[in-house]
Structure formats: structure tokens, C-alpha cells
Structure 1
Amino acid sequence: MHKLLGVFALGVLWFGGGCSLTPSVDELPPMPPAAPEPIPEPEAGTAGLANGMAEPEPTAIAEPADQDQDLWARLREGYGLPRVDNPRVEEQRVFYTRHPVYFTRVTTRAERYLKFIVDETEARHMPTELALLPVVESAFDPFAYSHGRAAGPWQFIPSTGQHFGLRQDWWYDGRRDIIASTRAALTYLEQLADRFDGDWLLALASYNAGAGTILRAQKRNEAAGKPTDFWSLDLPTETTAYVPKLLAVADIVRNPKQYGVALHPITDVPYFISVDTGGQLDLTQAARLAEVPMEELYLLNPGFNRWATAPAGPHRLLVPADKADRFKAGLASLPAGQRMRWQRYTIARGDNLQSIARRHRTKVQVLREINHLKGNTIIAGKTLLIPQSARGSAAPAGDGAKPRGRRLAHKVDSGDTLWDLARHYQVSVRDLAQWNDLDPKDPLRVGQTLQVWSGNESGDQGQRSEMVRQVRYSVRHGDSLYTIANRFNVSVNDIRSWNNTLSKRRYLRPGDRVTLFVDIRDAP
């Protein structure tokens, strides 16, 4: 289903005569979807997201009493894509209808976001089928992450996200921000539709494969005297299926009973309200003020990488609509000193910013920004401010409150990795590293003894600490373990431990499939 991103540099088409530092829509690279093929359903209550986090049911909202309150009915009324009788569409319809429970689960997940997306689509006078594109792109998983480094519900790769103003840094990734990514995706689709004279099927194909790919295919057909519509073009395999997938999803939503599919009921009322926070805010405090579970707050605000909103913004939080007034009142009465927790660290001889950042699970750049440092020079005896979660997840190993639960000792065996052990003991990779004064990417030594706190209640566990996505990467010409590790911000030793066959071979071969476990908060 996935297609590796091509190198989009020298082969890019340039239009309009001169070179520009800002690429045109024709030059933007493809954005492959990360949505998995429908798979056997997990046991009830165990559905999870790409980040490994248990997925709570959406906040209960009464089922629509009539058509006027049914979001699905409103969505159907705004359909504007052509209805096509094509074997490729039928093939995708059959594919989806063979997995009706999967379809119900995806539409349940969509409940948090679909009302907002439909509103945005209608406000731009776009076909409302486009509001269903995240079904194809990410299965409405806001934490979805692909082997091509595409992230979020709309699957923006880093460069295209930056082109459309989606900031990506240590604190925040706009590609996962529901509001920002939706508006960016619709803007991109509008530009593509304009580029192809209002042909939405070509615009959708371009969203997947890149406009340059579609334009080149059209030129080939023109030269051969063939039609240049979507169905007549010779396109990559993934793209030839991509547009039919959306058309198939739209057909099923149009008449779910005909296809034996039950859509999760969604009322045409706002699920969330955006609240201005007025500055940086600890998300644990926010959840307490709104009286919502942390998991719900993160599902509504998946763009935040850490335990707090980003210091550079956006200074807003999405909260369930019925909790908004309570949250606003609590935020207004919250003392300024309780919005964030800070630790004052006294610099010791031999310290440097890198060692301090590593010890406190943060970045050198973050320490520079918070402490207004122009360079890396620090002076022993001076103090640094270090951000710290209200739940203590940022505390360095050996500092702060002792972890709760039962202390265990694990002796490292051959093949053990922090990720595997964290999954085994149901703790976070970062907690496990912190308890043993390790960096999450440090290799383990056979015979090494690790401390594990079973049943701990660390804040990092509650704050998406399992935002780890399994990625199957296909090796390309010029790849090495080092370049792949650098690309996904993991270590070479990790890659070897996740892929036992690699230790038996000296070189990678193009086409080899490499399994990676990527923390999407730290991946580029």
C-alpha cells in the first residue's frame, strides 16, 4: 500500500521560467498514506493507535434523533466527486466491505474530528467526500506515521508540512495538529484542483503521487494521442488504487446498509471547542482543570510532543465541548506559578549543556531557549531552568520522587532492547531509560542488570510515552544502517537488534525490508 518517497530534486519539473526558493505546487513530493490494510479486529476494548496508547471511547454524545442532527446525512448532501462505474472502485469497495468491523472502528475514531473537517470543507465549497480522505491516509489515527516519514491524519511529510506552515520541533508537530493539518491539507488540495482546472480526481492523485508525477503522465499520454483524465494515465500502483479507495469509502458512506457496514453514529454538533490558553500550560494541569482523562486530551491535541503545550504556540487547547466552560473557569483562576513546573539546576564542574540535556531528557536547544543562552558556554555554580512535568516525567534519573510500584531486576539477555523490555514490563521506554541513567537509544550489554518498577505511575506513561510506531522500511540504493538510523533518529545497534538477519550479512541490499520502531516525537 505504501510507496517510498522518490528523491525529488533534480528530476523536479519547474514552471514559470525562474527558480524560486519556495517550491511551487508542482514540485512538492508525494505523501504516501500510512493507513494499514484492514486487519483482524482486536478484542473488545483493546483497540489502539499507532502510538501504542489505549484508545478511549469518544465522549458520549446522544445519537442523532433525526436527519437534521446526523453528520453523515449532512456529509452526503455535500458530495461533489463524480460517481464512477469502474472495476478499480468496485475492487476497493469489496476490500472494505470484507472488513465491516474495521470500518465501524475507523468511523468511531473519526467522531472526534469529522464535524470540524466537514465544517472546514463546506466553508471552502469543496466536495465533502474530501472529509473522508483521512480514512484512506491514516484510518483517522492522529499519531499515524509511515515509512516515508509522513505523519498525522493527513500524512504530511516534513518538507510539505513546512511548505504549508506546519511547524515541527521538539515541543510540537503541526502535522498532527487537528486544526492546523486539516487547514493545510485542504489548502493543498485546493491548489492542486486549481492546477488541474478543477479536476478533483487529478488533484487527489497529485496529493498522493505529487503533481509532477501526474503532469509527466499527462505529457506521455498527450504525445501518444491518449486521453489525460485520471483513469487513462499510467501512474504508480499505489496512486492507481488511492483515488478508487476514496471513491469506494464515499460510496459505502452514501449507502452503508447496501454494503453491510454500520457507521458509528455522529451527531452534527461540535465535539470539541478550541480554548485560548494564553501561554504555555502543563497538560496534566489542563486535564485536571477540564476533568477529562489525559488520553482524551492527547487525542484532541496530538500535535504536542511533550507534557506541555509549546512555548512558541499554538496557545490553544481543544477540549470536549461540554467541558469547555469548566476548563476556561479553572484556567482563569490558576495561579501563574502553577501553569508550568520548573526545576532550578545548579551547574556542576564538568557539566555541559549536552550532558545536562541528556540527564533531564530534553534538548540542548530547549535549554538555550528557556535560559536565553546565545551559545553553549555555561559556568559552574550558576543555575539553569529546566521544564518539568507536573507528574514528574521530566525528572532526571535519581532525582525527585521515587518511582512507585514493585522494584524488579532484569538481567539483559542477547537480543534484548529497551523497546522490547518496555513492552514486556508495560512501562515506557523513557521511564526504563531514566531509571537506569540511560539514553533511550543507548545499546544494552549482555549481563547488564536493569531496574524496573512494576506498576509504576509515572507521568510519562500517561503522556503518550508509547508513541512508538513500527515501520517497515524498504532499503534503497545508497542506504546504509547509519543513514537509515540517522533518518529515523534511532541507533544502528537498535536496527540490528530489531532485525536478526542483518547481523548475518555485511551489506544491505536494495529492496531489503528493515523493521524499525520509531518514536514519532523524535523522528524528523
Structure 2
Amino acid sequence: MRMSISKNKSKAIFLVLSLVILGACAPQPRQESSATEPKLKTSCKKGSIRRGDCKLQGLAEQTQEADSDLWEHITSGFQLTDYTDNPRVQEYFEFYRDRPVYLQTISERSSRYMHYIVEAINERNMPLEFALLPAIESSFDPFAYSHGRAAGLWQFVPVTARHMGLPRTWWYDGRRDVLASTEAALDYLLELHSRFDGDWLLAMAAYNSGATTVNRAIRRNRKAGRDTDFWSLSLPEETEAYIPKLLALTQLIKRSEEEGIAIAPIPNEATFEVIDTDGQIDLAQAAELAGISIDEIYHYNPGYNRWATDPNGPHRLAIPVQSAEQFRQALAGIPPSQRLNWRRYQVAPGDSLIKIARRFNTDIATIKAANELKSNAIRAGQTLLLPSASMDDSHYSLSEGQRLAAAQQKGQSTGKQAVYHQVKSGESLWTISRRYRVNVNELARWNNMVPKDPLKIGRKLVIWQSEPISVASGDRGSRSVIRWVSYTVRRGDSLARIADRFSVNVNEIAQWNNIDTSKYLKPGQVLSLYVDVTQLSGR
């Protein structure tokens, strides 16, 4: 397990930049190292369920000083430098150059995590441009959530997270765990790099849009007798911008002084140590032991969804280096059985495990394990032992539930009134937005979701409205019957014509299909429509 990253080790790690590249995972050879330089080994096992649980081994003593500013070290390890004159790169170079505040934001947000990311990249002898990939993916926000249900610094979607062994439970989401997701993202890039014959640009394109999409584009070009490099492929618009953005950002940081842009330095040293907790622990208690705020615990450990770590692991916490020794000593004085509060609860008539779990902010599996229950059956009068948070929910402000509550209250500042809707079978954000006559993107944002997220029956959604609409009255909302329609564009079609045909508006079609209203439709293009079939009578 990667438990502690000391300053001596972190300095030695950067010597890896001068090692000979032994594998095929880097596109360019590096300067050969001397016999006295350290070699890196890791105890990470390929295919490990818990990624990020690695430990650096066999580090020789440092033989030279590393750059004191981490940005200097990063820029010295850039390898993808042949594209600075590309017009698409230049376009985004100018875009970022005109937004120095954004660069400062990136520098501030990344300061907690950048040293760990750079170490992981150096271990793999990969281009250090990848240290900036989270800036493009999430703006270095570990709590970021976007379309396709992508989450975390590296924006893993569920299917790729499963492929890379990132667990997702009620308590924990490996996609947001900085340690685990960083290891998984870099391993995935290496996998794609190998699959696309050592081409880093194609590997990045596949990371963004999927290997199938890139392979399909390559086959099209080969069939047409065209080049198959990244710049020659026809890829999704987001992917075509993705790589130029990264290359532009890395070049701007390299030339920041020349461009007159001040970027706050980041010390080239570890910002946290990873400490074994030997079991589940209340995050408020952990914060108290370390002498830091609960929010700070969450910022360093954003993978934990709730008020405590996952009872099934990972059993570790990243703690700021200045607090690590205090935390380690304080933790040693508390037996594992006392790192959570426990309460006894007498089952009432009508209770079920799911009701009790929701009431006490825990999950069914934990209740069953603590009480050695073999099934979900319980009886009135039965006594259950339940884990409970040591503080009120509001103190865990960056837990998943509290982040959702904060998102749901954002509409309050606009002077609108809140309406709550409980999700029923067959409903989606699209159908609910039509029913309440609100924008689906706003509805998703109010509930910390994205428009295409699936809904769970019984989930309570907040809807902010200027004037409450009674959906039980005789208005159009109560009579609406919304159906999903797949429509294939025909010759002569336009967004306006399709909108008129199905009694929807142009902006809705654009939102549903993530298309630009200023661009022409192509015959054969398939559109998703959410249509009120009661409005189509006689058409």
C-alpha cells in the first residue's frame, strides 16, 4: 500500500526523468542515466481492485537537487512539443493567454494534488504534459461531475471505472479518490498508448471519446486513402478540441514568464502522507485527531461519499504533511472499535432496513454486518446496533448528501419557490422538466446531476419556479404524455421544421442532442426527441 511519501523519497523520485526508457510506454527515448541514479519499483499489482494503494520501494539516495518549483520540473519534462505551431493549438493558446485568472485558479486547485500526480507520471516515464490533463477534464475539481456521468479529477465514466478496477459503493467512489483515480487514469493512458502503436495523441483522443470511436475514424481514413494521425481524423467536436487545449495550456505555462503571466509557484515536495486507518473511521473524528477542518479532510480524500470511510476499505486517509505525525500518534491511541460512534435502536412496527439506513445515514450492508443478519428481515422490538456520525450532517458539508443539498438550495437566491417532486416509474429528467415547464439543464443543476442521468424511483427532486404550477390541475402539464422518439433527419429538414412537426422548440432539440443551433443538420443524422404525444393529434 502506498502509505507515506516522505520528502527524501519525493525528491528522489524526480530523478526518474533521466532514466533510460526500458519499455514501449514513452514515445521518445530519454538521456541515459548513470549507474548511481535510483531505480523505482512499486508494490502495485496489475489489476488490483484498490488502485492507489501502492508503495515506492528500493529508492537509492538522492544524487542531485530537483527543481524547487514543481512547475519548473513539470515543464522540463514536456515531450509533446512538436505541435506548437499548429493552428488549432494556437487558437487555444490565445484563448488561455487572455484568461490569466483561470490559470491562477488551476494553480491553486492543483497545489494539493500535483506533486502526487507528477510522481505517478514519473514512475511510468510518461510525458509530463499529462500532469495538466485534469485541468482540461475537471479544472482540478475532484468533486466535478459532468455529462456521461463522468466524475472526479480525471472524469471517469462508470464503464471505464469498472474496466480500471475503480470501486463505487454507497460509502466510496474510486473515481473521485485522487490516489486511486490518478493511478487508474495513467494506467489507462498507457493501455491506450500501446493499443494505438505508441501514439500519445491517439491515446488521449481515445481517453476522451473511447477507443471504438478513434478506431472507427482511423478505418474511415484508411478506406479513403487519407492519413490516420490525430490531426487528420474526423472525431467528435469535443475530442478535436481536447488535445489542442492540453497542448496549448502546457505551452502557455512553459512560456508564462515570456507572456507576462504570473503563476503561483508550487513547492516541489509532498503535500500529504497516506496513513493506514486499520478500519472505518468517522471523518469528523479524523479531522479532530489531525487538527484540521472536516472540509480539509474531504479535499484530500474526496473519494469518501459519506461521514465516514468505507467499512470495506480503502482503509487509509491522505493527511497534510504538517498534520500527519500528530494524526498518526493520536490514531494509535484509539482502538479501531472506538473510531465510530454506535447506538442501539429498537425496531418499530413498519420499519425496514432501508428505512432505518436512510434515517441514520448508513447503508443496509453495514447494518447487516454489524448485527450479523443473514437476510433483510427484521421484527418489531428487535434491537439493532447502528453506526452514527459524531456530528450533525451539516458539519460534513462536502459529503455527497450535503453537496446535493447545497445544489438544491442554489435556486433560492433567485427569489424562486421550491417545488419537490418524487420520481415515479418511467420518468426522466426530460419528462419532468417538460411537466414543470423548466429547462432540463437547470433541473439537472438544481439536483447536482446532468440531463442524461438515470433516476431512481422515489428520489426527491427540487424544482425552482417563479410561480408554482399545479400539475394536478387541468393544464397541459397534467395531460402531458411524454414519449422518447428517435428521429432520422431527412433531406430538407431543419431544426425549426422538426421542432414545429413535434410541437417542441429548437433550443430543446439542441439541448437533448448537444448540437449547435447554428450548424446544418445532415441527412441520416439521428436525433433524440422527447415529445408530448397529446399535442400531436391531427398532425
Taking structure 1 as the reference length, the TM-score comes to 0.67
Shift in Å, 1:283:
0.8
Pair 363,202 (structure 1): closer, same or farther in 2 beyond 3 Å: same
Q: Is the 8 A contact 2:408 2:446 kept in 1?
A: no
Q: Is the 8 A contact 2:143 2:151 kept in 1?
A: yes
1:172 maps to: 172
Shift, 1:418, TM fit: 7.4
Change (3 A) 1:167 1:69: same
Partner of 1:271: 271
1:500–1:125: structure 2 CA closer, same or farther, 3 Å change rule? farther
Higher Cα radius of gyration: 2
Residue number in structure 1 paired with 2:108: 108
Distance 2:148 2:171 in 1: 22
Query: For residues 307-344 of structure 1, what are the alpha-carbon distances to aligned partners after superposition, in whole Å with 9 as ceiling and x for unaligned?
Result: 11110111110001111111100001124443101111
- Tell me if the contact between 1:104 and 1:261 (Cα under 8 Å) persists in the aligned partners: no
Distance 2:106 2:314 in 1: 28
| Cα distance change, pair 158–499 in 1 and its aligned pair in 2 (3 A) | farther
Q: Give the Å deviation of 1:82.
A: 3.6
Instruction: Indicate the residue corresponding to 1:353 in structure 2.
Output: 353
| Matched-pair contact (CA < 8 Å) for 1:78–1:122 | no
Counterpart pick for 1:511 among 509, 512, 515:
509
TM-aligned CA deviation for residue 265 of structure 1: 1.0
Q: 1:98 to 1:369 in 2, by over 3 A?
A: farther
Task: Give the conservation status (yes or no) of the 8 Å contact 1:278–1:316.
Answer: yes
Distance 1:512 1:498 in 2: 24
Matches within 5 A, 1:23-34: none
Q: Which string of whole-angstrom CA distances, capped at 9 and with x for unpartnered residues, describes residues 387-445 of structure 1?
A: 211114399xxxxxxxxxxxxxxxxxxxxx9768745889xxxxxxxxxxxxx9759xx
CA contact (8 A) 1:357 1:364 kept: yes
Percent of residue pairs bearing the same amino acid type = 45
1:290 is aligned with what amino acid? Answer: A
**1:204 counterpart = 2:209:** no
One-letter amino acid of the structure 2 residue matched with residue 374 of structure 1: K
- 1:473 correspondence with 2:451: yes
Which residue does the alignment assign to 1:74?
A: 73
Q: Deviations over 1:85-130 (max 9, x none)?
A: 2111111111112211111011111000000000100110000101
Paired residue secondary structure (1:485): coil
Larger RCO: 1 or 2 (CA < 8 Å, sep 6+): 1
Aligned to 2:252: 252
Partner of 1:287: 287
Hey, what's the Cα distance between the residues in 2 that align with 1:94 and 1:498? 40
Equivalenced residue count is 383
Partner of 1:96: 96
Deviations 1:269-288 (A, max 9, x none): 00011011111111111111
State the alpha-carbon separation in 2 of the partners of residues 272 and 155 from structure 1. Answer: 22
Deviation at 1:163, TM superposition (A): 1.2
Paired residue secondary structure (1:386): strand
Report the CA distance shift for 1:112/1:468 in structure 2 as closer, same or farther (over 3 A): farther
- The one-letter amino acid of 2:69's match is D
* Aligned-partner residue type, residue 73 of structure 1: E
- CA drift of 1:486 comes to 3.5
Query: Are 2:367 and 2:386, in contact at CA under 8 Å, matched by a contact in 1?
Result: yes
Residue type matched to 1:511 in 2?
I
Q: Is the 8 A contact 1:300 1:318 kept in 2?
A: yes
For residues 472-493 of structure 1, give each alpha carbon's deviation from its aligned partner in whole angstroms, at most 9, with x where no partner exists. Answer: 526xxxxxxxx84339x844x6
Query: In structure 1, how many angstroms separate the alpha carbons of the residues matched to 2:195 and 2:228?
Result: 14
* Residue identity in the other structure for 2:456: N
Residue number in structure 2 paired with 1:303: 303
Give yes or no for contact 1:282–1:390 (8 Å, CA) kept in 2. yes
For 1:305 and 1:322, the matched residues in 2 are separated by 25
3-state SS, counterpart of residue 511 of structure 1: helix
- 1:97/1:199 CA distance change after superposition, 3 Å: same
| TM-score (ref. length: structure 2) | 0.65
Q: What letter matches 1:88 in structure 2?
A: R
> Where does residue 398 of structure 1 map in the other structure?
none
Indicate conservation of the 8 Å contact 1:142/1:302, yes or no: yes
What runs of 5+ residues in structure 2 fail to find an aligned partner? 1-64, 396-403, 414-419, 424-444, 484-503, 513-539
| Structural RMSD (CA) | 3.1
C-alpha distance 394-500 of structure 1, shift in aligned 2 (>3 A): closer
Number of the residue aligned with 2:54: none
Q: Secondary structure at the match of 2:207?
A: helix
Please give the alpha-carbon distance, in whole angstroms, between the structure 1 residues aligned to 2:154 and 2:467: 30
Give the letter aligned to residue 363 of structure 2. K
